[in-house]
Amino acid sequence: MQHLYIDRYAGLDSFIHKIDPRIKVITFFIFILYIVLTNPFSYLSFLLYGLVILFLIAISRIPFPFIFKKTLAVIPFVVLIAVFVPFIKRGEVLASYTLGSLRIEFTREGIVLFWAIVIKSYLSILCMILLTSSIKFTSLLKSLEKLKIPKLFIMIASFMYRYSFLIIDEAQRMQRAKKSRAFKNKKGLSAVKMLSNIVGVLFIRSYERAERVYLAMCARGFQGEIKTLDTFSIVPRDIMFLVSIFATLLLIQFV
């Protein structure tokens, strides 16, 4: 079965895709730092950041709808957390309501903070999504490894990447096997029971597979550390990309 969602547009051949993964990770990291550290009142800076990101998305040739759909998955969480801020943050009261014995205040500082959280996280998420969509997941992991992220995290992420699809396939097969034997969709408690059985079996199967994978690793000389070869090379184009983005960010600070 094919699961292309995660690397769907990673195989494109644009300027952005060709940048060395390490440089790309560093550049976007700097970009996000700038976004986060910008004064919430410099609206023009946010607008310019947004335009730069849109420009980068355009030259990466990843379809805009794909990127925006992905941001929708994260935004609800941000809003959910940020929405209480205007009521909690102390400061100049703009409005207040009394609900029985409860007094709710709405402050100017709170609203500013709310705006800052929402705009900064949205721009950062756009950066992250552009980064992860324009890079193969395997290259992303390798570049993080080269940037000295602890090996254990890399190992966990790489096994997750390799085996999550397999586990999804297994779950789908079990679902099908269940469907082909049960005449109708049961509802309520028995459906929950059925689901918990599937989850249980899936867990045991994954556990057993992990044992076998470990044996296969040992058979090829695994000694507690996964080593891979470095396949990246930095060319002038990469440095140019890093420098030009950095210069743009600096310029935006002065407008």
Partner 1 sequence: MQKIIEIKNLSYIYPDGTVALKDINLDIFKGDSIGMIGPNGAGKTTLLLHLNGILISNGSVKVCELPVNERNLDKIRQRVGLVFQDPDDQLFMPTVFDDVAFGPINMGLDSDRVRIKVDSALKFVDMEDYKDRIGHHLSFGEKKRVSLATIMSMEPDILVLDEPTGNLDLKHRKEFINLLKDMNITKIIATHDMNMVLSICSKVAIMDQGKLIAFDTTEKIFGNKELLAAHGLD
Between residue 45 and residue 74, which ones bind partner 1 under the rule CB under 8 A?
none
Out of 14, 71, 132, 158, the only residue in the binding site for partner 1 (CB under 8 A) is 158
- The C-alpha atoms of residue 187 and residue 184 are separated, in whole angstroms, by 9
**Does residue 227 belong to the site contacting partner 1 (CB under 8 A)?**
yes
**Does residue 3 belong to the site contacting partner 1 (CB under 8 A)?**
yes
Out of 223, 233, 236, 254, the only residue in the binding site for partner 1 (CB under 8 A) is 223
* Residue 54 Cα distances to 26, 32, 100, 196, 237, angstroms: 19, 15, 48, 44, 20
**Does residue 171 belong to the site contacting partner 1 (CB under 8 A)?**
no
Tokens representing 214 are 């470990």
107 DSSP 8-state letter: E
- The C-alpha atoms of residue 197 and residue 191 are separated, in whole angstroms, by 10
180 DSSP 8-state letter: H
Structure-derived torsion over alpha carbons of residues 179, 180, 184, 190, reported in degrees to the nearest 10: -50
* Binding piece for partner 1, criterion CB under 8 A, among 45-53, 126-134, 209-217, 238-246: 209-217
84 DSSP 8-state letter: T
Report the residue number, 30 or 226, with the smaller CB distance to partner 1: 226
**Does residue 159 belong to the site contacting partner 1 (CB under 8 A)?**
yes
What is the binding site for partner 1 (CB under 8 A)?
A: 2-3, 7, 137-138, 141, 158-159, 161-163, 165-166, 209, 212-213, 215-223, 226-231
